[in-house]
Each structure stands twice: as structure tokens, then as C-alpha cells.
Amino acid sequence: MLKATWRSLKAHKARMLLSGLAVVLGVAFVVGTFIFTDTLKGTFDQLFSGEVPDVVVSQELAVGGDDGTGSVVSVVPQSVLDEVAALPGVARATGNVQVLGVALLDGEGTAVGGNGPPQLGLSWPEFPDDPKLSGLSLVSGRAPSGPEEIAIDIETAERGGFALGDTVTVVTQGPRIEAPLVGLFRFGVSGGFAGVTLTVFERQYAQETFVGEDAWNQLGITGEPGVTPERLRDDVREALGAGWSVSTGQELQDEQAEQFRQALGFVNTFLLVFAFIALFVGTFIILNTFSMLVARRTKELALLRAIGASKSQITWSVVGEALILGVLGGVLGIGLGILVALGLRALLAVFGAELPAGDLVLAPRTIIVGLVVGTVVTVVAAWFPARRASQVPPVAAMRDDVALPARSLRLRAVAGTLLLALGLVAVLLPVLVDDLPQRLQTLGVGAAALLVGVIVLAPVFSRGLVGVVGAPVNRLGAVGRLAVRNAQRDRRRTAATATAILIGLALVTAIGVLGASTTRSTDALVDDVITADVVVQSTSFVPFTTEVGDAIADVPGVATVSRVRQAPALVDGDAGAVVGVEPETFGLVNALDFDPAGLAEGGIIGDVVTAAGAGVQAGDEVEVTWGPGRTDTLLLRETYQPQAAFEGWIVSLETLERAGLRAVDLFLYVQLDEGADVEAVRAELDAVQAAYPVVQIQDQTEFKESITGQINQLLNLVYALLGLSVIIAIFGVVNTLALSIIERTREIGMLRAVGTLRRQVRTMIRWESIVISFFGAVTGVVLGLGLGVALQRLLVEEGITQLAIPWPLIGIVFVATAVVGVLAAVWPARRAANLDVLAAIRTE
Amino acid sequence: MQNPATGQSAERAAVPSPSAARSVGLRKVYGEGDTEVVALRGIDVAFEAGRFTAIMGPSGSGKSTLMHCMAGLDSASAGQVFIGDADLTRMKDNELTRLRRERMGFVFQAFNLVPTLTAEENITLPVDIAGGKVDRAWFDLVVGTVGLADRLTHRPSELSGGQQQRVACARAMVTRPAIIFADEPTGNLDSRSGAEVLGFLRRSVDEFGQTIVMVTHDAHAASYADRVVFLADGALVDELVDPDTNAILDLMKSFDQAPGAHGVLEAERAAGTRATGTPTAGTPATGRRCSRRPGAP
């Protein structure tokens, strides 16, 4: 039997190639994902493996940046440093400055980095030779010794084209300075920090500029010999009391590594979802291939049965073929996966995520996963045809009209309809019932059931729908009619081929609806809420220097600059972000349903949900803790209905400043004078933007476009990742056509004999391809539209209030489908047209 | 024969008609060098218009190859093939295809019909492919003659073998071709269905003046023809005009008795019983002439 299996595989090389390709591509995607994330992990593990202080002290409530605000970093006064230094067991204690948003402008005036990895500003280490307290080693030049002198890491120097002795423009969260570059240093092993730009200032200057006199962002402590970091940590913790975060350097490093691993895990899962969609699509192609091979070999199988092969031997001979194909596909897929990993890095770079380059990591786990996935997918897909092969009765060997026992579609119809009904209920229920728990999850399950239901049911409705889709083709005469009939001929095959297309396009359409709805909703929100003429925001979500606002306020024609800041705080014991606004002007630039004037003189305003969560109502006092020993009691003046634009606690800027929080702006809303020369103002604003390229200065239209641009970027990434599934689906169409042409060799020969031109044969195959592709596309788009609309309805409360159907996208999908149909038919059509008429008639 | 109404003539056989198809020095060689097989050794043959000619011969005699070359389905290695005045050996694939579609009809042994099309659609297929209009009167006449009027909406899988073959015959007729090639049309049929199909072919010659060339190895089938030409080892060896089954069988028996695997020709020459050689257009048959055909329907 083994020999028969191998022979069959070899005999059907060409046909196996295409379905093998589906396995290879799917596996390559999975393997590529793992290599990609493993490589990133390897790079970062290396970064997180350097020497660290024994103990690190920072302020609790500090926002490190993982919530995207990073507006306030930890502040540790000199007094705390002195206290720690005096503790027994402490060898050295040093203060460090570490701030975000320090951008170096290259020769063209653009900021180096900033897409992803942060732009860090540091103080020069107090003990440069103590590896635990300094990650830097000077390569050339000297340490910055005076105000406005800088040293940078060698990687950043290379990226920005900076050389020792240059004067570099540095835009910080404080001033914009022209800094002489006096030193280049190496960080860690690689020289840089994985795309992070490191700019180091003289210690006192860094303190005064970024933290405040006699204050640091963080303390690094080393212990006397014999004092363990844990012991030191406990001692320091006890000495300092509440409000301080004290941990060992190792803990902190592990925590950072863990956070990173989680983020990476998310990326991994995100990519794997698409890889498995591709594999899922691939299974239909494998299934189709094996079904057709089994059908072709009916007589041979019957002969094997007649001479004594058991049913299970037949099954396993087919499964054996799948096994070999799966292993081969897995091996090739692993090889191709390396390229995919490089491709993914390039893809994400295109979509704005700069990732550090590192040696590719091919873990044993990756290889095993690749092989297992390839094999399991192939074998599972081949199982059904294999079972069918075993149903061939031995007597078929003796009969002329060999056909597999026809199977009824009734079971399929029942199961598919049930699934479809179940899916519909699960999709509609959360849409119609507002207070259903787990609404999104229910919808997800419903969507899956709908998809599977449609797939199961596809063979049942394929003949009818192909007839509808193919109606225009049918009218093209005999050739068109033949094409449509051919597409209708084998319902299962047509359905399986179309399913491969359907899955990808359903997802594209659903996501397209969601994207278009989000865009429209955001536009509506901006129109409804923002009354400012100009909006200023950071390019990297890191707050920016107040100099920007000052510069804009000086522009003639600008009436108002209203600043918005954010700070982390404990409000009645709950940690959260507090927004700071200017009470006098905030109402001018935003349409509000509350009066910001109430924020003056120690007022606070919260949305009803947040206030209810804290158990307070208008008129109550609210306790807000900004940091150790800095607590305000504010009066809740008013509550408001939360909406997508605002929610949570709002205070005045004055309150934030009084609390000692550093002044950095998150947003600026600018109102122009009535009758201002918009062109002139625009030119002046452009000049400000050029000086501070860390911000975007946009009018309403530009602001909306920038949000749309972000949404579209994400959508395009998803489309690109779904692209592989579509490519696999194309192989499926090619495969189906090629196989069905082989099956129809005699028929095509006969058509040629009675006068069908080669061109007409090609046209016939091409139309067949297009009709099958459109069958998949129409089903997919309808399904995707339904799911997209349901999803939008569900997300109304999340701010996606408007429904938008992406007609251009759907148009593109159909055009692309036609192109796919034509392309997929090129090779099979040529084969069919070039069939030797006589050989075709003679075929046994 | 373009006008079926004038085609009926019992005397036609006596008056030599112009040839509908002929070959001149037709050779067909497969393979090269050691594997070279000569299928046709320079054949000169003509098929008269309005007559029913059968090509007979043992397996491997080249009878199917001859038909395929005459029909432009296979290319000649040397020599010429004419359908009317058109020289097939000078034509490209598209010209050949158009010629087949406009001037030839085909009936094969099996796999004659497109399974996805109804009987009617199968019959009109050559016209539809050419983008032409079906002559309804002619169509009805043909369909009536083959007795398929009540089966037109059936798919091939819903028809018996004989009915399928009659659909194929109707398809071959529908374009009013200059010539119909039939390759073992009754090979897969039981004798009754076979008789029906042969009867129809016979009638199409008698009533519509259709020209038919049929390859067969069945003496009974060949007896429906006006003329039978015999092939052996790639050469024409004999022919009969208005044969009956017994005459054909006798002749074939004499081939079988001849010594040697491919010594038919030599054996015949040695025996000197029959004129051998190359009958050409208009030449009256030199073989025995049977007085009557067996009773055609």
C-alpha cells in the first residue's frame, strides 16, 4: 500500500504542487510570525540583560508611557536621595533624570526616530565607571559638562548623520536648544537601544530643565558587599514609607521585559490570527485536490478493493499521501518562513513601526510548530476525501461508468441551516438587546457560526447562486453558457473553491465597514465637538514643550490658545488620568455640555459614570493625590454625560501647576481672530511646525484626515495580512480549473473536434474562473457587510456612531475578483486550448 | 447535396459524383528512428458526395488514422487532403477548426455529448459556437428523423446510449456539413440501438443526400454503406460497392487466411484473386459488386 501511495503522489506531481503550495504558504506565515517575534524578543532580551542597580526608587503613580500619555514622570526630591544615601548597607545612591520627548533634528530638520521607540533624554551618570549605575561607555569626545551640551549614542549618531563637534538642534519637552555634540557613547552591547534615541545632558542642567531643582526622576542604589538587593530593597522601603515605589533593579528589569513580552505576545497573536486564516483557506484547496484525485482514481481504488485491500487501507493510503505532502509542505514552509519574517518586518516598517534589526531566531519550537501545523492541516483536509475513497465498492472496478457514490446534500443543508440560524441569532441578539452581557463575545461566536454555516451550506446554494452570478455570462452565447454550466457542474468543488475566496473577502469587507464607520464617526465627532480653528497634537503621543503654544500665541491673527494637559493621580483612592484645561478658554474651542468655569479655584468636574464609580455627586469633595505628600481636596462642581471625546476627571491647569506638575502640553486648541488672514496665519503656523517637528499643527480638515490616515494605516496593514489568504485562494482557483480540465479532457477534445476555436476554449475557461470567483466574492461581501453592520451597531457606545459602507472598497474587491479570475485562468486556459484534440478523444 | 430535397436518388450510385473529400499520397508516420511507426503508407482515396462509405480493416490497419487525417483532426506527414477544393494540409489550426465547424460533422464511438447541455443544446452546439442562427425547419426535420423530438430537454445522462448517439448524429447533421465522419458510431451500442443509428445514417444519405464516411470493424455496420474500402497495414487493399454482410465477411476471412503478420498485400498479390491498388475518384469499383444492399429500414 505504501508503494501505491508513493506512486500516486509522484504521478500527480503537478496537481500536488498547487495544493502543496497552499500548505507551504500557510506554514510559512505561521513560521514567519514566530521567527519575527522570537527575533524581536531575542533583541530585547539582550537589552534587558545588562547590569542594573541593586535597588531603584521612583515615585508611585508615575506614568511610564504605556498608556500613551507619559505626561508626568516620577519626581524624587534630593532630600529622599540624601535619606537613602545615609541608610546603613547602602554603598552608593545616585539620582537620574530620564525624560521622554527629546528629539534630535537632523540636517533636514526632521526628528530622528519617534515612530515607536521613544526619544529619551538622560542625565550623565554620576558614576560612569560603575556598570550597575551606568549603562553608558564613552566612545569618543567627553561627557557633557555644561548647560546645553549633549552626548548621544553611536547608533543615533549614525542614523541622524551627526558627528562630534556638530551643533544639533534638540527639541525637548522644555526648551528647544542648539546643543554642541561633545560626546558619543555606546549603550549596552549593540551600541544603541533598539531604535530608542538616547540624548544625555549634564546632570545639573538635566535636573533643572526637566525635573526641577533638587529633584530626580529615579534613584539608583547599590548595596555594600554582603547586602542582598532584596534586603536593601526592604530596608529602603521601610525607611521611605508610602508613596514610593522601591524595587530591586532585577525586578524592574523583569517587569519591563514582561511588559514587552506581553506586547510581543499580542503582536504574535495578531499575526497568527491571519496565518491561521490563511491555513484555513488552504485546507479547502487541499480538500478539493484530494477529492478530485480520489474521483479520478475511483477505478484504481476499486481494483485495489477487489483484490483484497480493506477499507481502512484505502483510507490510509490517501491519508498517507496527505501526510507526505504535509511534511514536505511543512519543511518548505519553514524555509519560506524566514523570508516571511523579513517581509513582516518590512511590512510593519512601511506601516510606521520601526523595529530593531537582529539576527533571525529560528527556535526548535518554531520548526516543530511548522511541521505539525503543515501535517495536521493537510491530513485533516484530506481525511474526508480519504473516507470517501474507502466507500468505493469493489464492483466499480468492473463497471464502465465509474463514479463515486453520490452523496446527498441533505445533511449538509440541515447542518448548514442550523448553523446559519444559530449564527444569525447570536449576531442579532447583542445588536438588538442592549443589556446583554458579553455582547462582543456573543457577536464573535455568531460571526464564526455564520461563516462556518455559509461554508457548510455553500455547496447547497452554489448551483443557484452561480446561475444568478453567471446570468450575464450565460447570455454571451454557447461559450458563456458552457462556462456557467461547468461552474455549476460540481457543486462541492465550486463551493470549496469559492469558499477560499469568500473567507478573505468577508473579513476584508467587515473590517472595511468598521473602518469606514469609524472614520465617519470620528469626522462627525470632530465636527460636533471641536470648535477650534486649529488643533495641535504630538506626532508620537508624547506631550510637548509649552514653547509651541507660546509661539502660536504670538502669531498675529491668533485669538486664543487653549492648552490641554494630563496627569496621573489617585482620585478618591482610584488611580486614573486627570485632564487639565483652561477654564476661561476651553469652552470656546470645544462644544461642551458643562461649564468649564466651574473648574477655577479648586473645582473638579467628572462624568457621571466615573463620579458614580467614586461614589460622589455634584457638591461633594473629592480627594486627589498627585504624588507623595501632595494631596488636594477639590470640589465636584458638576457632572456630565461621558462621550467619545471626553470622559473622566477634568481640572484646571492651575490646579495641576499648583500640585507641582511639570508643564507639558498634550493638545492645543487654537482660535483665530475673526477676519484673520488665514493664509498669513497658516504660513506663520507652518514656521512654528518647522521649528518644532514633534507636533502637528492642523486645521479641522487636516485633523480629520490625520485621524482617518491612522485608521486607514491600520486597515491597510490588516488588508495586507489578509492578502496572503487571497493569494492562496487564487491558487485554489487555478488548482480547481486545472484539475477539472484534466477531468474534462475528452469533452474539451470533442468541443474542439466539432469546431470550437482555441480562443473560444480559453474564453470558456476564463469565464468559468470569473464566475466561480464572483460566486465567492458576492457571498463573502454580503456576509462581510452583514457582520460589519452588526459590529458597528454594537460599537455605537464605543463612539462608532455612524454607519458607513465602503463602496469604493467593495468596488475594488469586485474589480480585483475579476482580475483574480482572469489571472487564475491563464495557465489552465492555455492548457485546455492546447490539448491535442485526438489525444483528448482517445483518452481512456 | 446542399439542398436535401434534391438528394434523393436511387440511381445516384451509378452516376459517379464529384468527391466530397479525397486524399493524395497521404502518409502518416508516428515517432522517429527506431520507434517510427508508419500508420498510412501513401493513400489515394476519394469519398464521393452523397454516398455512404465505410472504412474497414483490422486493428492497427490505420483506418482511424485515415479518418482523423481526412477530418483535419490529425496532421498528415506527407501528401494532401482535400475537403471539396480546400487543402487541409495547408491550413492552420483556426482555419481547420472553422472548416470542421462549417463543413464537417462528427460522430464518435463514445463521449459525444457535453454532459452539462441538454439534447437540444448539444445538437445546436456547432451552430452556437460559430455564433450562427439555427435553421429551425432543418433542425425540426433532423430531430424528427432521429426521433428525438420528445427528448430535447433531457441531459445526456437521462438518455440511453442509442439516444445519445442519435443526438450526436443530429448534431453532426445540423450544420448541413459537406461530409460527416463517424468513428465506430455503433461500437458501444447493443445491436438494436446500433441498427437505429445506422438506419438514420442511411436515411440521411438517401433522403438528404448527405455524404458520410464511417470507420468500423463491424461487417454488419459496414453493410449499410454504399461502398466499403478496406485498409490493411496502412494501405488500401480492396473495396466493395453495395456490399452485403456476407460478402464483407468473406473478404475479411480471406485477409485472415493470408500468411504473415503484415503480409496481407503480398498475400493478395500472390493469390491474384482480386485487383489491388488505389481506387480514385470516379473509378468504378473493381471488386465484386453485390446486387443488393441488405434491407435497410
What's the average model confidence in pLDDT over A569-580?
Answer: 81
Contact B125 A488 (CB under 8 A): no
In the prediction, which pLDDT does B86 show? 87
Three-state DSSP class for residue A657: helix
Distance CA A230, CA A247 (A): 8
Look at residue B268 and tell me whether its pLDDT is greater than 60.
Answer: no
The 10s digit of each residue's pLDDT in B181-214 is 998 888 888 888 889 889 989 998 998 889 999 9
Classify residue B5: in a domain, yes or no.
no
Q: Which residues of B touch A746 (CB under 8 A)?
A: 111
- Strand B179-183 and strand A76-77: pairing? unpaired
- Strand A176-187 and strand B235-241: pairing? unpaired
Classify residue B97: in a domain, yes or no.
yes
What is the CATH number for B148? 3.40.50.300
Distance from CA of A819 to the nearest CA of B (A): 25
The 10s digit of each residue's pLDDT in A137-155 is 888 888 888 888 889 888 8
In the prediction, which pLDDT does A557 show? 87
The 10s digit of each residue's pLDDT in B82-115 is 998 888 888 888 888 888 888 888 888 876 788 8
Classify residue B2: in a domain, yes or no.
no
Nearest to B145 by CA among B212, B108, B196: B196
Domain holding B113, by residue range, is 18-271
Q: Which of A122-126, A528-532, A820-824 has the lowest mean pLDDT?
A: A528-532
Distance CA A460, CA B277 (A): 64
Distance CA A507, CA A317 (A): 36
Nearest to B148 by CA among B124, B167, B123, B122: B167
What's the average model confidence in pLDDT over A317-322?
Answer: 85
Distance CA A18, CA A742 (A): 15
In the prediction, which pLDDT does A192 show? 63
Looking at the DSSP assignment, which residues form a beta bridge with residue B99?
A: none
- Number of domains, chain B: 1
The residue whose grid cell reads 473567507 is A503
Note the helical H segments in A585-699: 586-589, 608-614, 653-658, 678-691
Classify residue B138: in a domain, yes or no.
yes
Contact B116 A482 (CB under 8 A): yes
Contact B112 A481 (CB under 8 A): no
Q: Which residues of A touch B114 (CB under 8 A)?
A: 482, 485, 747, 750-751
Residues of A with CB under 8 A from a CB of B: 477-479, 481-482, 485-486, 488-489, 746-747, 750-760, 837-838, 841
Three-state DSSP class for residue B130: coil
Classify residue B277: in a domain, yes or no.
no
Burial class (CB in 10 A: 0-12, 13-18, 19+), A79: exposed
Q: What is the 3-state secondary structure (H, E, C) of A326-351?
A: HHHHHHHHHHHHHHHHHHHHHHHHHC
What's the average model confidence in pLDDT over B128-139?
Answer: 88
Classify residue B127: in a domain, yes or no.
yes
Contacts 24+ apart (CB under 8 A), A676-679: A676/A557, A676/A558, A676/A559, A677/A557, A678/A557
A824 within 8 A of A500, measured Cβ to Cβ: no
Distance CA A269, CA A276 (A): 10
A236 within 8 A of A246, measured Cβ to Cβ: yes
For residues A625-662, one letter each, b for 16 or more C-beta atoms within 10 angstroms of the residue's C-beta and e for the rest, the string is bbbbebebebebbbbbebebebbbbbbbbebbeebebb
Look at residue B297 and tell me whether its pLDDT is greater than 60.
Answer: no
Classify residue B95: in a domain, yes or no.
yes
In the prediction, which pLDDT does A263 show? 82
DSSP state at residue A51: -
What's the average model confidence in pLDDT over A328-335?
Answer: 90
Contact B101 A755 (CB under 8 A): yes
Distances (CA, A) of B86 to B17, B103, B107, B129, B136: 18, 11, 22, 22, 29
In the prediction, which pLDDT does A84 show? 86
Distances (CA, A) of A16 to A287, A325, A386: 11, 8, 15
Distance CA A571, CA A659 (A): 14
B15 within 8 A of B211, measured Cβ to Cβ: no
Distance from CA of A477 to the nearest CA of B (A): 7
Cell of A791: 459590529
What's the average model confidence in pLDDT over A571-575?
Answer: 77
- CA–chain centroid gap for A438, Å, is 23
Nearest to A120 by CA among A149, A98, A137, A96: A98
Whether chain A has a CB inside 8 Å of the CB on B30: the answer is no
Contact A756 B97 (CB under 8 A): yes
A466 within 8 A of A487, measured Cβ to Cβ: yes
Kindly identify which residue of chain B lies nearest to residue A758, measuring between CA atoms: B94
Whether chain A has a CB inside 8 Å of the CB on B103: the answer is no
Contact B116 A489 (CB under 8 A): yes
Look at residue B261 and tell me whether its pLDDT is greater than 50.
Answer: no
Whether chain A has a CB inside 8 Å of the CB on B44: the answer is no
Phi-psi region of A59 (alpha: psi -120 to 50; beta: other; left: phi over 0): beta
- CA gyration radius for chain A? 33
Three-state DSSP class for residue A842: helix
Q: Which of A393-397, A683-687, B122-126 has the lowest mean pLDDT?
A: A393-397
Contact A488 B116 (CB under 8 A): yes
A668 within 8 A of A626, measured Cβ to Cβ: no
Look at residue B274 and tell me whether its pLDDT is greater than 60.
Answer: no
- CA gyration radius for chain B? 19
The HSE-up count of residue A32 (CA atoms within 13 Å, CB side) is: 30
Three-state DSSP class for residue A565: strand
Distance from CA of B13 to the nearest CA of A (A): 29
The confidence band for A1, taking pLDDT boundaries of 50, 70 and 90, is low
Distances (CA, A) of A244 to A66, A617, A629: 19, 31, 11
In the prediction, which pLDDT does A473 show? 87
In the prediction, which pLDDT does A427 show? 86
Contact B114 A750 (CB under 8 A): yes
Phi-psi region of B39 (alpha: psi -120 to 50; beta: other; left: phi over 0): alpha
ipTM topping 0.90: no
B73 → closest Cβ in A482, A747, A753: A753
Classify residue B238: in a domain, yes or no.
yes
Distance CA A482, CA B125 (A): 10
In the prediction, which pLDDT does A50 show? 75
Kindly identify which residue of chain B lies nearest to residue A480, measuring between CA atoms: B129
Distance CA A429, CA B156 (A): 49
The residue whose grid cell reads 438494436 is B192
The 10s digit of each residue's pLDDT in A39-93 is 888 877 777 777 788 888 888 765 433 433 333 467 888 888 888 888 888 888 8
Distance CA B207, CA B210 (A): 8
Taking each helix axis from N to C end, the angle separating A410-432 and A758-794, rounded to the nearest 10 degrees, works out to 40
A609 within 8 A of A642, measured Cβ to Cβ: yes
Strands (E), A243-315: 244-248
* This prediction's pTM: 0.77
In the prediction, which pLDDT does B129 show? 85
